Structure 1
Amino acid sequence: MTNEPTLQEWTDAHEETTVSLDNHELTVSYYDEGETDTAETPLVFLHGIPTWSYLWRGVAPAFEADRRVIAPDFVGYGNSAMHDGFDRSIRAQERVLEELVTQLEVDQIDLVAHDIGGGVALRYAAHNPDAVETLVLSNSIAYDSWPIQFIVDLGLPGTINDMSVEDVDEQLTQMFQSTLIDPDDEFVEAMVSRFRSDEGRISLSRNAIATNTSHTTELDYSAITAETSFIWGENDGFQPIEFAEQLNDDLENTAGITRLDANHWVPEDRSTAFVEALSNVLE
């Protein structure tokens, strides 16, 4: 897409704030661009594991002419705090989102979320039904659909302790190269580079071990009132489309599933189709 920012442009556009989480003061980095002088609801994009907000490089900018577009890096990811010693579960990330939205003085949002970001979005929408107008889930976790074995293995202390920074780099690179339809070197480099240090190596392991399935199985899905749509890669081996179908059946206010010929990394692999589908949802 012609409006797709480079890694440097995306990073330079980030701002930082501090949020409180379980008595920890943590830096949260976030992308905040687009039209603020508008009646349109701000559009918030949430990433998953092991990505960060740059996942949305080919999607988010397409909406900046009409919307305020916000894309945070969850704590433990991207340009946000990555030191050891704090919770990275989706329960914790939900609280980070709540505080960030409050700090940005936003009352209502439309949420677009991928992977574990979808779990955060589901929790936030269930606990703050008046705050979410539209919820769009893309190859999202839900119920007991997660974590996948790759993430389970990364979360084992014995595994990560035996891995060097170079080992982590190689494993992540191979995973992205093998699961992206048409791997882009800049995208893969952007995803892998954030964990390319001892701090990053440990942070990745802590992120992985924090994948607590009970945080989605405990949810009251009937509490979600936002109109919910699904933009799903129908060939995903990580979060199969059957989970989108189950959510579509279980939630009260759904607008259907857009099925794309893609694997898991739909916002990257099918950014043009994703923008078109999301535009249709937001009309």
Structure 2
Amino acid sequence: MTQQATVTWRLPSTVGVSAGEVATGVFGEGPPVVLVHGTPAWSYLWRDVVPLLARRYTVHVWDLLGFGDSRLADGAEPSIATQARTLAELIEHWSLDEPRLVGHDIGGGIVLRTHLIERVPALQLALLDAAVLGPWNTTFTEHMQRHAEAYRTMPPHVFGDIVAPRLRTAVHRPMPDDVAAAYLWPWRGEAGQRRWVDQVASVSFDDTRDVVARLDRIAAETLVLWGEEDGWLDTSTADRLAAAIPGAQQSRVAGAGHFVAEDDPDGTARELLRFFDRKSA
């Protein structure tokens, strides 16, 4: 990839887990909130949301295994199931009791699998443009899964020319060049290219089937929050997801695409705080 980025957002700590080493950060003070990004993002997605939430909450952030500064152990795959087990390990490491769990994109599937399959208690759940109900892969992702070896072996600059414009479609508003370069930073060069294709090949709706079968068992207060202009997962998916979870609340962020926290971090934080604060009150 030819674009270079000076990345000012990096998580300060690392935690060893069964499937590798996770980059983490803890910000603010108050009741615990855990933010889980999706693909092909990394914790950079939350950079402008974290300070707003950290005024009232302790915000725990991490890079998924194989994303950002986190590294997979040899032989481990960055599947949703692996990420969910990792989140359960992190919550134990942080000694959190019923945290608020926030998941974006496949992070939504990870959060729900952690809660429903790994049996980690949660006070509240917030699902942002969440990849839970299948089929949720885009046509681009499906093509890459079918032809993974071709994508792994193409020249890195060609791969970059393919994924760079694709990533820009995750937002509704124009993405500045420096921001686009920061999102592409973890995927640069041959190693980054392999990481991108590996995580695409490992992400499957199979890891959320068990979750979908248990959605009607969710007792935690749940918010389904969506970018009104999401071009990757239509708002009809939000309607179906909210209908499947007992008592789930819905909200939209106007003018925001799939990367809702990138398009409108203030609006995203405002909706999350409104949801969180009702429980606090």
Q: Counterparts of 1:178 and 1:48 in 2: how far apart (Å)? A: 15
Report the counterpart of residue 15 of structure 1 in structure 2: 13
Distance in 1 (alpha carbons) for counterparts of 2:252 and 2:103: 14
Moved more, 78-87 or 26-35: 78-87
Query: Matches of 1:18 and 1:85 in 2, distance apart?
Result: 16
Aligned AA (2:7): L
- Name the CA distance, whole Å, in 1 between partners of 2:209 and 2:235: 18
Corresponding position of 2:227: 233
Q: Once the two structures are aligned, what percentage of the paired residues are identical?
A: 27
User: Is the contact between residue 111 and residue 121 of structure 1 (CA under 8 Å) also seen in structure 2?
Assistant: yes
1:129 positional shift: 5.8
Question: Does the aligned pair in 1 maintain the 2:85–2:118 contact within 8 Å?
Answer: no
- Show structure 1 runs of 5+ residues with no match: 1-5
Aligned to 1:3: none
| Deviation of 1:111 (Å) | 1.1
Contact 2:169 2:231 in 1 (8 A): no
Number of residue pairs the alignment of both structures matches: 268
Candidates 73, 77, 87, aligned match of 2:67 = 77
Residues 93/130 of structure 1: CA separation in 2 closer, same or farther (3 Å cut): closer
The answer to whether the 8 A contact 2:152-2:197 is kept is no
Distance 1:119 1:54, change over 3 A: same
Deviation of residue 259 (structure 1)?
A: 4.4
1:9-41 residue CA offsets vs partner (Å, 9 max, x unmatched): x21x421011003xxxx1110121111xx4x2x
2:249 is aligned, of 246, 255, 262, to 255
Distance in 2 between the 1:230 and 1:197 partners?
Answer: 36
Q: Which residue of 2 aligns with 1:99?
A: 89
| Distance in 2 between residues matched to 1:91 and 1:82, nearest whole Å | 14
Moved over 4 A (4+): none
Identify if the C-alpha distance between structure 1 residues 50 and 183 changes in structure 2 by more than 3 Å, giving closer, same or farther: same
Compute the displacement of 1:203 (Å). Answer: 1.2
Q: Deviations over 1:121-157 (max 9, x none)?
A: 1112223566211111111111213221222233333
Distance 1:190 1:113 in 2: 21
CA separation of 1:67 and 1:7: change in aligned 2, threshold 3 A: farther
Does 2:82 align with 1:88? no
The equivalent of 2:3 in structure 1 is none
| SS of match in other structure, 1:229 | strand
Give 1:170 shift: 2.1
Q: Aligned partners of 2:247 and 2:183: how far apart in 1?
A: 34
Structure 1 residue 228, shift from structure 2 partner? 0.6
How far the C-alpha of 1:282 sits from its partner, in A, is 1.0
Instruction: Provide the rounded CA distance (Å) in 1 between the counterparts of 2:165 and 2:97.
Output: 41
Please state if 1:172 is matched with 2:135.
no
Give the match for residue 221 of structure 1.
215
Q: Deviations over 1:86-143 (max 9, x none)?
A: 1111011000101111111112211111111011011122235662111111111112
Deviations 1:211-238 (A, max 9, x none): 1112112221122221111220122221
Deviations 1:58-99 (A, max 9, x none): 111111122111111011100000576311110110001011
Answer whether contact 1:32 1:68 (CA < 8 A) is retained. Answer: yes
Alignment partner of 1:185 out of 177, 183, 188: 177
Give deviations 1:33-64, integer Å, cap 9, x for gaps: 111xx4x2x11111111110111111111111
Q: Alignment partner for residue 34 of structure 1, among 20, 24, 28?
A: 28
CA RMSD for the aligned pairs? Answer: 1.9
Change (3 A) 1:130 1:87: closer
Q: Is the 8 A contact 1:244 1:257 kept in 2?
A: no
Q: Secondary structure at the match of 1:102?
A: helix
| 1:100-139 correspondence runs (5 A) | 100-127=90-117, 131-139=121-129
Aligned AA (1:145): P
User: Which 10-residue stretch deviates more, 169-178 or 141-150?
Assistant: 169-178
8 Å Cα contact 2:26/2:61 also seen in 1 = yes
The amino acid of 2:45's aligned partner reads L
Q: CA deviation at 1:247?
A: 1.6
Q: Partners of 1:78 and 1:140 in 2: how far apart?
A: 20
Matched, 1:279 2:273: yes
CA contact (8 A) 2:253 2:268 kept: no
